[in-house]
Amino acid sequence: MKLSTRTRYGVRLMVALAQNYGKGPVFLKDIARGENISEKYLSLIIIPLRAVNLVNSVRGARGGYNLPKEPSQITLKEIVDVLEGDCSLVDCVHNPSSCSRVPICASHDIWEIIGNKISEILSSITLDMLVKMNQEKAGNIMMQDI
């Protein structure tokens, strides 16, 4: 399974919003600059995230984007599902009627097990955890510079 750029950038966008949680809305241009991602591309990524209420938009001079709930309440799976689709590695896992061999195919069972594990891991990781991981990595880099 290979995640798309859209999903990878979407996760970075959501982590940036999580880092600013409770500090007010953030401009998309500021996130784009901080993450070195095209603002135009981020504006396309944020649309489906808003549609499922993973992101709020605030209008006006002090507007921008923020998270509607705490970062600890948003999982990586929620983000990936919106931007990438379900975690099935092959079509027959998500749609068994797409293949007549499903009842007798051992590899189908393996793909299903792997997809379930991926889903389980993504469900166990929250934005809050990613923010803490980013902070630890930033701290490690700063310590190397000393």
Q: What topology does CATH give the domain 5-145?
A: Arc Repressor Mutant, subunit A (1.10.10)
Q: What's the CA gap between 15 and 120, in Å, rounded?
A: 20
CB-based contact 91:99 (threshold 8 Å): yes
Short-list 90, 56, 58, 78, CA closest to 123: 78
Short-list 25, 97, 34, CA closest to 68: 25
Tokens of 103: 């009842």
The identity of residue 111, as a single letter, is W
CB atoms under 10 Å from CB of 121, counted, come to 12
Which pLDDT does position 72 carry in this prediction? 98
pTM: predicted TM-score of the whole model, two decimal places: 0.88
Q: What mean pLDDT do residues 86-92 have?
A: 78
What is the pLDDT confidence band of residue 146, given thresholds at 50, 70 and 90? Answer: low
Q: Mean pLDDT in the chain?
A: 91
Phi-psi region of 27 (alpha: psi -120 to 50; beta: other; left: phi over 0): beta
The identity of residue 132, as a single letter, is K
**67 three-state secondary structure:** coil
Which pLDDT does position 49 carry in this prediction? 98
What is the pLDDT confidence band of residue 145, given thresholds at 50, 70 and 90? Answer: low
Rounded CA Rg of the chain? 18
